[in-house]
Amino acid sequence: MKPRIYINDVAVRDGFQIEKNVIATETKVALIDMLSQTGLAKVEVTSFVHPKLVPNMADAAEVLAHIQRVPGVAYTVLVPNLKGMERAVEAHRARGTIDEINVVMSVSETHNRANINRTCEESFADFAVMIGIAKAAGIRMNGTLSTTFGCPFEGHVAEQRVMAFAERYAALGFDGVTLADTTGMGNPAQVKRIAAEAVRRLPGIEFTLHFHNTRGMGLANVVAGIEAGIVRYDGSLGGLGGCPFAPGATGNICTEDMVNMLEDMGYDTGVELDKLLAAAVKLPAIVGHEVPGQVMRAGRTLHLHPVPEKLYTQ
């Protein structure tokens, strides 16, 4: 039996956060509402990052207050630090339920310092405080481990360190852990090995895999992850998102391309691909540029073409 696969779309957070154009709150809300109707298991809707750092996430509380929640869809938000935690819990209590908070650190010490301005130990110390606040507010906690499959400064990270960090998240009481390939350095052999070991060590944790397609390996890594027993995957509508280390390079794997592949392979994702594509085709107008999604150009696999009228006969 093929396992059910659960898809989390991160475009509105991970994709929009790097867009230069200001995206209107109502545009985000409308897109999230479309995504909520597709059958996705989870939608990452915003980030409580400092508005000066990421202007496109300044409306986090507003977005949460106006989306139409659909039963069965989990709404998750990124929270970078304790200040963001306060804002998130305030938004949660005031007007918009948050089902899950996602926090992020890098397995690579260098990348964590460069990206988050924290040592890894300081990140864990923050998380210990943050999880108490989240649990008191009745919100699930997911911890992301960036650079799990490679660091742009350090190269491949010791797999023992990945496991030790996943175990620390679990020990703190986190519900889920996302193993993230931040800059598209993971390969299928490595993904299969790391994912299998993580599942073996922490059977009680809900693992998610987050891949980037920076070097074309994104969907190959999804197949490897499923073979290793992980059933939760992040994707970004239209392949929105980028890679800060390679301007012009592809970023996050594309949700609808992943769903098209999984459907072709016989997996049930619960997602209605046509509805997802209907949302994806709106993105170029929203962000003001083309996006990397391929199925939106080529059509879903079994979208057949008319037979030519003047077909050769013997």
Q: Which residues are catalytic?
A: 243
User: Which helix (H) or strand (E) covers residue 112, if one does?
Assistant: helix 109-116
- Per-residue HEC secondary structure of 276-292 comes to HHHHHCCHHHHHCCCCC
Asked whether position 50 contacts a copy of itself by CB under 8 A, the answer is no
> What is the residue type of 286?
I
Rank residues 26 and 227 by Cβ distance to a copy of itself and give the closer one.
227
Q: Is the dihedral of CA 13, 127, 111, 206 positive or negative?
A: negative
Find how far residue 191's CA is from the centre of its chain.
16
CA distance 78 to 44: 7
Asked whether position 3 contacts a copy of itself by CB under 8 A, the answer is no
Q: Determine what percent of the chain falls in helix, strand and coil, rounding each to the nearest 5.
A: 45, 15, 40
Residues 183-202 that bind a copy of itself (CB under 8 A): 183-185, 187-190
| Closest CB 268 distance from a copy of itself, rounded Å | 14
User: Which helix (H) or strand (E) covers residue 303, if one does?
Assistant: none
Asked whether position 246 contacts a copy of itself by CB under 8 A, the answer is yes
Asked whether position 5 contacts a copy of itself by CB under 8 A, the answer is no
The binding track of 116-135 with respect to a copy of itself, each residue x by CB under 8 A or -, is: xxxx--x-------------
Asked whether position 18 contacts a copy of itself by CB under 8 A, the answer is no
Out of 130, 224, 230, 283, name the contact with a copy of itself by CB under 8 A. 224
CA distance 307 to 295: 21
Phi, psi of 212 (to 5 degrees): -110, 150
Asked whether position 216 contacts a copy of itself by CB under 8 A, the answer is yes
Asked whether position 157 contacts a copy of itself by CB under 8 A, the answer is no
| Closest CB 291 distance from a copy of itself, rounded Å | 12
Rank residues 36 and 182 by Cβ distance to a copy of itself and give the closer one.
182
Out of 12, 54, 105, 295, name the contact with a copy of itself by CB under 8 A. 295
Asked whether position 113 contacts a copy of itself by CB under 8 A, the answer is yes
User: Which helix (H) or strand (E) covers residue 232, if one does?
Assistant: strand 232-235
Contact 140, 100 (CB under 8 A): yes
- Number of residues binding to a copy of itself, judged by CB under 8 A: 64
Tokens 């059933």 correspond to 231
Asked whether position 25 contacts a copy of itself by CB under 8 A, the answer is no
Asked whether position 110 contacts a copy of itself by CB under 8 A, the answer is yes
Structure tokens of 210?
């987050």
Rank residues 160 and 313 by Cβ distance to a copy of itself and give the closer one.
313
3-class state of residue 44 by DSSP: strand
Out of 1, 136, 285, 307, name the contact with a copy of itself by CB under 8 A. 307
Asked whether position 285 contacts a copy of itself by CB under 8 A, the answer is no
Helix 218-227 vs helix 188-201: angle between axes, to the nearest 10 degrees?
40
- Interface residues with a copy of itself (CB under 8 A) are 110, 113-114, 116-119, 122, 150, 152-156, 183-185, 187-190, 213-220, 222-224, 243, 245-246, 248-250, 253-254, 257-258, 260-261, 264-266, 294-295, 297-302, 304-308, 311-314
